[in-house]
Amino acid sequence: MPLPPRWLRRLLLAPGVVLLALVVVTTLPVWALLAAAASPLVPGRLRPLRLLWIGCVYLVWDAAALLALFGLWLASGFGRWARTPAFQRAHYLVAGWFLRVLFWQARWTLRLRIEVVGTDPDTALPGRPELVLCRHAGPGDSFILIHALVNWFNREPRIVLKDSLQWDPAIDVLLNRLPNRFIAPAPERGEATIRQIGHLATGLDDDDAFVIFPEGGNFTPGRRVRAIARLRSLGLERMALRAERMRHVLAPQPGGLLAALDAAPDAGVVFVAHTGLDRLLTVTDVWRELPMDKRIVMRFWSVPPEEVPVGRQERIDWLYDWWARIDDWIAANRDGAA
């Protein structure tokens, strides 16, 4: 389904979420009784009740975020000063607070634990701009990464995201007020997309983190096969062979990284891997795993600017080398059960 224009999303979707949250909260006892009655008929520990609670929490969370953002819009002179540094910082603070609430609930309801290994969140990212490259697998990994960057590393992320995420009104409103890019995945727009990525990476300062997911989508076995086939269709046999040797990640697409490196030559590069939600590929998988009882492990590797290769092909090979290293790490750390 095509994404509605922004004005329609603001007039219908955002108020609709607030109204729906109000209706659900006021009728929650009825839904809770129905979910409790269904729970004995469903395998697992109170899955219908947990699913109801997760849905209600996210809906109320979305609505509360929209109300907070509406308050910021009013305070900024109906959006007139929303792009000023003070209001940009205010939006990052709001994002950090709401992410803390979301992950507090995830720990309680889903029994998720998030751990960072191989680094100290207070000292891992020195005072310089960083390009953050993350694998993409499992539900909510984008939220986890941004939560870590904002609340643990005190960074202001600039994110390259799929445009379909704008269906979520809070994400739509918040991230469109901050320096981010929503990208429509379309091969014919490849050059235009790369230019947008380069523009977004221009002018990074010391507390910025430019976030990109080089795989272009969540890992699935089918996408892995299609990514390898695409490399072969482009005549990139050597890259296809390297991609075949990586079993847990998709072949990275180097165009965005190359554009970002050219736009931010003084930035370091941070590679991020995580494991714990790898096997949750479908809605059925998520339902089956409730409560998840998972330990999500995140691994950060920081590369200083002077260690980043200079030539185009050297950078592509370097990216594939790092992705192979991430693949090896995932193979050794895939058991995320608590």
Strand 268-275 relative to strand 130-134: parallel, antiparallel, unpaired? parallel
Rounded to an integer, the average pLDDT of 168-191 is: 87
Read off φ and ψ for residue 121, nearest 5 degrees: -55, -20
Whether 337 is covered by a domain: the verdict is no
pLDDT tens per residue, range 232-247 = 999 999 999 999 999 9
- Identify the band that residue 283 occupies on the pLDDT scale cut at 50, 70 and 90: low
Q: What is the CA radius of gyration of the chain?
A: 21
Rounded to an integer, the average pLDDT of 11-39 is: 94
Whether 217 is covered by a domain: the verdict is yes
- pLDDT given for residue 211 in this prediction: 96
- Identify the band that residue 337 occupies on the pLDDT scale cut at 50, 70 and 90: very low
* Mean pLDDT, the chain, integer: 88
**Above 50 in pLDDT, residue 137?**
yes
H or E stretch including 138? none
- pLDDT given for residue 139 in this prediction: 62
**Above 60 in pLDDT, residue 125?**
no
Question: Nearest 5 degrees, angle CA 140-CA 145-CA 148?
Answer: 125
- Sort residue 276 into left (φ over 0), alpha (ψ -120 to 50) or beta: left
- Identify the band that residue 335 occupies on the pLDDT scale cut at 50, 70 and 90: low
Nearest one of 308, 338, 333 to 321, comparing CA atoms:
308
How many domains in the chain? 1
Whether 338 is covered by a domain: the verdict is no
- Quick count: other Cβ atoms within 10 Å of Cβ 73? 16
Give pTM, 2 decimals.
0.90
Rounded to an integer, the average pLDDT of 157-162 is: 94
Type of residue numbered 222: G
Rounded to an integer, the average pLDDT of 146-155 is: 91
Q: Is the peptide bond before 214 cis (omega within 30 degrees of 0)?
A: no
Q: Tokens standing for 127?
A: 């005072």
- Identify the band that residue 282 occupies on the pLDDT scale cut at 50, 70 and 90: low
CA dist., res. 57 & res. 102, Å (int): 8
pLDDT tens per residue, range 284-309 = 766 666 666 777 888 999 899 999 99
CA dist., res. 312 & res. 257, Å (int): 10
- Residue-number span of the structural domain to which 97 is assigned: 6-332
- pLDDT given for residue 169 in this prediction: 96
pLDDT tens per residue, range 35-89 = 999 888 887 778 888 889 889 999 999 999 999 999 999 999 999 999 999 999 9
With pLDDT > 70 as the criterion, what percentage of the chain qualifies? 90
